[in-house]
Homo-oligomer: A and B are copies of this chain.
Amino acid sequence: MRVPERVSTTFWRAVTAWLLLYWQFSTPGRGPELPFWPHPCMRKASERPTATVHEVARVAGVSAATVSRLLNGTAKVSDDKRQAIEQAIERLNYKPNVLAQNLKTGSSRTVGILTQSLASGYFADAMAGVDDALQGTGYAPLIVSGHWHADEEAERIELLIARRVDGLVILSGNLEDAQILALSEQVPIVVFGRDLQGPRTYGFSLDNYRGACDAVEHLVAHGHRDIAFIAGPSDHRDALARLAGYRDTLAKHGIKAQRKLVLQGDFSESGGLRAVERLLASNQRFTAIFAANDLTAYGARLALFRRGITVPDEVSVVGFDDLHSSMYTTPPLTTVRQPLFDVGQRLGRAILRMIRQQPLELEVPEPSLVVRESVRAI
Question: Which chain B positions have C-beta within 8 A of A357?
Answer: 37, 39-40
Asked if A234 is at the interface of the complex by the 8 Å CB criterion, the answer is no
Q: Are A163 and B46 in contact (CB under 8 A)?
A: no
Within 8 A of B (CB), among A196-247: 197-202
Count the copies. Answer: 2
A142 to B30, CA, bound (A): 32
A199 to B44, CA, bound (A): 12
Asked if A141 is at the interface of the complex by the 8 Å CB criterion, the answer is yes
Within 8 A of B (CB), among A249-308: 269, 273, 298-299, 301-302, 305
Which one of A6-14, A58-66, A123-131 is at the interface? A123-131
Which one of A76-84, A91-99, A167-175 is at the interface? A91-99
A119 to B118, CA, bound (A): 10
Query: Least Cβ distance of A281 to chain B in Å?
Result: 20
> Among the listed B37, B162, B302, which residue makes an inter-chain contact with A328, where contact means beta carbons less than 8 Å apart?
B302
> Given known contacts A121-B124, A140-B159, what 13 new A-B pairs fall within 8 Å (CB)?
A24-B359, A30-B359, A37-B360, A43-B200, A46-B185, A48-B186, A98-B163, A99-B99, A99-B108, A103-B103, A143-B143, A305-B330, A329-B329
Within 8 A of B (CB), among A83-126: 95-100, 102-103, 106, 108, 117-121, 124-125
Q: Are A359 and B37 in contact (CB under 8 A)?
A: yes
Within 8 A of B (CB), among A29-50: 30, 34-40, 43, 46-48
> Among the listed B95, B131, B362, which residue makes an inter-chain contact with A145, where contact means beta carbons less than 8 Å apart?
B131
Q: How many residues of A contact B (CB 8 A)?
A: 75
Query: Least Cβ distance of A210 to chain B in Å?
Result: 17
A185 to B128, CA, bound (A): 30
* 24 chain-A/chain-B pairs, Cβ below 8 angstroms: A24-B359, A35-B198, A37-B357, A37-B358, A37-B359, A39-B357, A47-B185, A48-B186, A95-B162, A98-B164, A100-B103, A103-B103, A119-B128, A121-B124, A140-B142, A140-B163, A141-B143, A143-B143, A269-B327, A298-B328, A298-B329, A299-B328, A302-B329, A302-B332
A121 to B142, CA, bound (A): 19
A105 to B360, CA, bound (A): 38
Asked if A18 is at the interface of the complex by the 8 Å CB criterion, the answer is no
Question: Which chain B positions have C-beta within 8 A of A163?
Answer: 98, 140
Question: Which chain B positions have C-beta within 8 A of A35?
Answer: 197-199, 201-202, 360
Q: Are B199 and A38 in contact (CB under 8 A)?
A: yes
Question: Which chain B positions have C-beta within 8 A of A273?
Answer: 328
